[in-house]
Structure 1
Amino acid sequence: MNDRQDSYDRYDPRTAQEQQLLGYDAYGRPVYGQVPAQPAPPDPQYGQHYGQQQDQQQYGYDYQGYDGQQYYPQQPAADYGQQEYPRAQEPQQAQAGQAPSYGYDTRQAQQWIPQQSAPEPPGPLAEPEPRPRRAQVPEPRRADSAPDAPDYRTEQFAFIDQPDEDSEDVIDWLKFTESRTERREEARRRGRKRVVALIVVLALLLVGGVGYLWYDGKLPFLDGPGQKKDPAAASGPQKRDMIVVHLHNTKKGGTSTALLVDNVTTQKGATVLVPNTLNVPRDDGTGTALGKAVEDGGLGVRESLDSVLGTHIGGTWRLDTPFLENLVELVGGIEVDTDTALPADEAAKAPAVAQGQKQHLSGAMAVAYATYRAQAEPEAKQLDRLGKVLYGVLRKVPGDPKSATVTVESMGQILDPALNAQTLGALLAKLGEHAKEGAYRTDVLAVKPDGTLTDDSSKNVVKEVLGGSFTAAQAGTAPRVGLKDATGDEKTQIAAKAALLNGGYTFVDGGRADKTQSTTQITYQDDAQRARAVDVAKTLGLPESVVKKAENAVNADVVVTLGKDYKPS
């Protein structure tokens, strides 16, 4: 504030007297007052300030009048615990000889302060008086305290930080203990998670393994959708491709016969080894051994086998031992589980064959092992060795029919006119795929001493593997009639056989029964064959009552089991 304005504030133009400094307002501005006891009332032109200021809002509005006078509505000071500053003394004090002292009352709403510039600057500002401290009220004594207890108050106590030289060590130890505990808890959590994950993995593996076994049909009493049905369990007719193989030993003599079967319906393969002692019929109706029929040239052997087994063989493969040796060499040798050791054969230029599993055999070794038969050893042993060699060859034959055909043609074999290289190559390729997948079996037909098949061979091999049955006979052909002798009289059997051949039936020798029986029986399996069974009974001079439907013991359309009651006519 400049000097002119200060002088003007202290000078009152209505009284022509200089005003005295009374104090300072809340904003630090000087407050002046008049010395006379009764200040002049304000001019009506300026408004009734004392009455109006109490009704107006306290926001510091400036009211301008003439002669430069300003009117400031006073704002209340902050309430600091209802503290009061000394009020201005009354005019009577001034009259008593005391200097009037005016102060600012925070409870006063408004005050009219005329301001006027003074001719000379004011003196130094007085320092504000210190505010009185708020009196502390002592806390009352608790009623439940003892009368003689010391009178302690809250303000008498204070918390003082006393640094301890061991405090940092204690804090570090607490942090270390806490971190170690957290690490142990974290390790326990990780261990529990690992155990749970391991249990989940094992459960998934178990479920997956059981599911696979169920799907593949390897669980007992449960059939999976991916299980390959057994031929015996498959319903409906099955399609089979079949050829007969005759192995001729060109150096030592002798022959061996095997049937190669591709079951197209069940996608399985098989080798059925046929003993040379099997009795097969000739064109004149008489019987002969299979081995003799093959050595005589093999003409009609395929048809004879069809008649005995009830099969439909598609072709004949004559395989001489030199061509077998070439075939094994072409496929790069074979692996065979040998059951016996063979010495070296200098004449055949074959090295010794060791005994054991997965023995590698060259072409000459394979021929020597396939044809080996020890002295007084049953023929089934030698046939089993031939089956192992054929199985080893099939596993090495290319799976592509064209490549297999090239292998057959490179072998240099002269084939039967009914079987060309393309047909043989395609069949060997299919059988090779079955052998690689493990869907392959090898069986030996069991033959009785009289040259007839055993009942087990007829049921388990002929019917299941070869599919041989009476239904193999084509329409319009003579029915096949099997004859089994249960009389024990050879003359009776010969007479019954002659009667059947004269009646135009195809004769199937059923051999002798294990025990005799008193009555004769004629059986058939299919209702369509009942009429033929009745005709057979009339041919033999037997009543129709001996005909009944039952399982045939011999693989034929109609089976006659002669009893002691049969009397040749």
Structure 2
Amino acid sequence: MNDRQYDPYAPQVQLVGYDEYGRPVYQQVQPQQQTYDPYAQPQEPQQPQQQGYGHDAPYVPQQSAYDPYAQQQPHQPQQFPQQDYGYDYGTAQQPAVQAPSSPQQAPEPEAVPVVPQQRRDEGGDRGESGERDYRTEQFSFIEEPDEDSEDVIDWLKFTESRSERREEAKRRGRNRIVALAVALALVAVGGVGYLWYAGKLPFLSSSSDTKKGATAAGPQKRDVIEVDLHNTKSGGTSTALLVNNVTTQQGTTVLLPNSLSVPNDDGSRTTLGKSVGADGSAGTRDAISSLLGTKITGTWRLDTPYLENLVDLVGNIDISTDVDVPAAKQGGEPVVKKGDDQTLSGPMAVAYATYKGPGEADTKQLQRFGAVMYGVLRKISDDPKAATVTVQTLAQILDPSLPESDLGASLAKLAEHAKTGAYKTAVLPVQSDGSLSQQASDSVVKDILGGQVGGGVVDKGTAVRVGVKNASGNAKATEAARITLVNGGYAFIDAGNTTTEAVSQVLYGDPAQKAKAIEVAKTLGLADSAVKQGKAAANSDVSVVIGKDYKLQQ
């Protein structure tokens, strides 16, 4: 607080009463100027006359003249209500106080502080430091509660809480609607996806052509792997093609008899069994591709010890057997018993896959090998990574054309077909001379293998395949035609012999092959009239039937 000097002659403010609103009313009182008399006796203060204003004013004692020799008596301040009228403690000047003329001119305060009357002695109450020393009990506040304002605050809180609850309810409602819409959308998408997968969507005309096991029209994509089983104990080989039709989602094992006639690199003929043992995987793979008109991606050589380990790795196989496989020792229990759902271990599976009974055809043993391969595919994992791990665990040396990762991925896809029932086994029909019959061309080469390289599309730069069937009655006609066609840049395919015909024919099935057929006829020395559109062999671009009119070229 500001340190100020007391002026006894300054006008003072005196409480004279309260107005009709209960507010204090003050008036200025001019103190009497007295001459200072150091020898005068102190006089008793006079009692001021009370003025009535409707309320009794509190008693305020009249201040006497200053007596420096008089004994100072402790002064007890009297509390009185005071409003803020801009009192300047620095100059001790106070403006005149005017009562408000109307309630609108002076808003009613909520609390009026009451301060003690200022002492007239010099400096007032001061502490040891010379500053004014006010005590807590010198102040008091008059609180005037306003019940109406509290009711308004409570109402605002209620309306605010009610609005918040409404907004929260709306937000929750919107969230429920969004969640329900998302759930319905997921159910709809899942249902449509299932119907599409099952081929039951009526507005998709091709849905039934792409489901598993169906025959799709047009070019089809196929992945083909050649499997050569080598019997390391008794010798001999067994060959099969593992076909994955990507378009129709169908898996097939095509069993190839060892008597199948395949071409050599020089154009001569040999059997499949001899080619596997002599030419190796690459030569045999190329010969089969040329003969059947299909592209083989790789060769998997599977010796019998590796087949035994493979069956043990997948945890045995369950197949139906058609014969009892006798034990090595005469009179012992059969190694494999005939019956349905027989569980075979690794050694049992090898014994059954390589077994050929006395007087049985070679195709019987080939079919048992196919059954074992089907059992393996049903037990191997359909996950490419897991299937690759199984192949790696075998620790066999694979052909460079078929790395472990590619073989694992192919086996996993075939395993998926085998487990869902979209898998079958077929034997390639071969005639007694090793050539392919018309039945083989229609049922296996065309339907299963596609009959053309790359799934029905002939690669650019590939030689035109010409299938030659000898109907001249001259055995030398086939070899003569082969030499002529190979020298002309064509791929020769031996289609075997047939009954004698008088006139030679050059047939093409696809109209796009007509120009090629005309060139083949000219190469063989046949007239253009021999070229006709007909049913060419499935493994050939152009089919030639050599009749009696064919002249051997010197």
TM-score normalised per structure 2? 0.60
How far residue 274 of structure 1 moved from its aligned partner, in angstroms, is 0.5
In the alignment, what sits opposite 1:102?
A: none
Give yes or no for contact 2:212–2:250 (8 Å, CA) kept in 1. Answer: no
In the alignment, what sits opposite 2:496?
A: 511
Distance change (3 Å), C-alpha of 1:495 and 1:465: same
Amino acid at match of 2:481: A
Aligned ranges for residues 239-250 of structure 1 at < 5 Å? 239-250=221-232
In the alignment, what sits opposite 1:280?
A: 262
- 1:269 correspondence with 2:254: no
Q: Which whole-Å deviations, capped at 9, do the CAs of 1:379-436 have from their partners, x for residues lacking one?
A: 1111110110000000000121111111111112211011111111111111111001
Distance change (3 Å), C-alpha of 1:405 and 1:230: closer
Amino acid at match of 2:551: K
- 1:538 correspondence with 2:522: yes
How far residue 482 of structure 1 moved from its aligned partner, in angstroms, is 0.7
In the alignment, what sits opposite 1:482?
A: 467
Q: Which of the residues 264, 276, 284 maps onto 1:294?
A: 276
Distance in 1 (CA, whole Å) between partners of 2:358 and 2:279 is: 27
Distance in 1 (CA, whole Å) between partners of 2:422 and 2:214 is: 15
Q: Which of the residues 451, 454, 463 maps onto 2:446?
A: 463
Q: Which whole-Å deviations, capped at 9, do the CAs of 1:194-232 have from their partners, x for residues lacking one?
A: xxxxxxxxxxxxxxxxxx99x9789xxxx9966755878
Distance in 1 (CA, whole Å) between partners of 2:254 and 2:447 is: 11
Give yes or no for contact 1:310–1:472 (8 Å, CA) kept in 2. Answer: no
Distance in 1 (CA, whole Å) between partners of 2:334 and 2:395 is: 24
Q: Unpaired runs of 5+ in structure 1?
A: 1-211
In the alignment, what sits opposite 1:451?
A: 434
- What SS is found at the alignment partner of 1:246? strand
- What SS is found at the alignment partner of 1:269? strand
- 1:324 correspondence with 2:307: yes
Q: Which whole-Å deviations, capped at 9, do the CAs of 1:494-534 have from their partners, x for residues lacking one?
A: 22222212222111000011x22111100111222211111
Q: Which of the residues 417, 423, 430 maps onto 2:400?
A: 417
Distance in 2 (CA, whole Å) between partners of 1:519 and 1:311 is: 31
Q: Which whole-Å deviations, capped at 9, do the CAs of 1:516-564 have from their partners, x for residues lacking one?
A: 2111100111222211111111111111010011111352111110111
TM-score normalised per structure 1? 0.59
The worse-fitting range, judged by mean Cα deviation, of 321-330 and 517-526 is: 517-526
Give yes or no for contact 2:452–2:539 (8 Å, CA) kept in 1. Answer: yes
Q: Unpaired runs of 5+ in structure 2?
A: 1-193
Amino acid at match of 2:234: K
Q: Which whole-Å deviations, capped at 9, do the CAs of 1:239-271 have from their partners, x for residues lacking one?
A: 111110000000000000000011111111110
In the alignment, what sits opposite 2:482?
A: 497
Q: Which whole-Å deviations, capped at 9, do the CAs of 1:336-378 have from their partners, x for residues lacking one?
A: 100000112369x996111000011010000000001112211
Amino acid at match of 1:432: A
Amino acid at match of 2:532: K
Distance in 2 (CA, whole Å) between partners of 1:528 and 1:231 is: 30
Aligned ranges for residues 72-471 of structure 1 at < 5 Å? 233-298=215-280, 299-345=282-328, 352-469=335-452, 471=456
Distance in 1 (CA, whole Å) between partners of 2:512 and 2:207 is: 35
In the alignment, what sits opposite 1:34?
A: none
Distance change (3 Å), C-alpha of 1:230 and 1:490: farther
Distance in 1 (CA, whole Å) between partners of 2:314 and 2:477 is: 55
In the alignment, what sits opposite 1:551?
A: 535
- 1:527 correspondence with 2:511: yes
- What SS is found at the alignment partner of 1:359? strand
Distance in 1 (CA, whole Å) between partners of 2:329 and 2:412 is: 34
Aligned length: 352
Distance in 1 (CA, whole Å) between partners of 2:329 and 2:408 is: 33
Give yes or no for contact 2:254–2:427 (8 Å, CA) kept in 1. Answer: yes
Distance in 2 (CA, whole Å) between partners of 1:490 and 1:498 is: 14
Distance in 2 (CA, whole Å) between partners of 1:343 and 1:511 is: 39
Distance change (3 Å), C-alpha of 1:547 and 1:266: same
Distance change (3 Å), C-alpha of 1:434 and 1:232: closer
Distance change (3 Å), C-alpha of 1:555 and 1:227: closer
Q: Which whole-Å deviations, capped at 9, do the CAs of 1:445-478 have from their partners, x for residues lacking one?
A: 0111111111111111111111123755421122
Aligned-residue CA RMSD (Å) = 2.5
- What SS is found at the alignment partner of 1:548? strand
The alignment-based identity, stated in percent, is 57
- What SS is found at the alignment partner of 2:241? strand
Distance in 2 (CA, whole Å) between partners of 1:391 and 1:310 is: 25
Amino acid at match of 1:469: Q
- What SS is found at the alignment partner of 1:343? coil
- What SS is found at the alignment partner of 1:300? helix
Distance in 2 (CA, whole Å) between partners of 1:360 and 1:266 is: 31
Distance change (3 Å), C-alpha of 1:529 and 1:230: farther
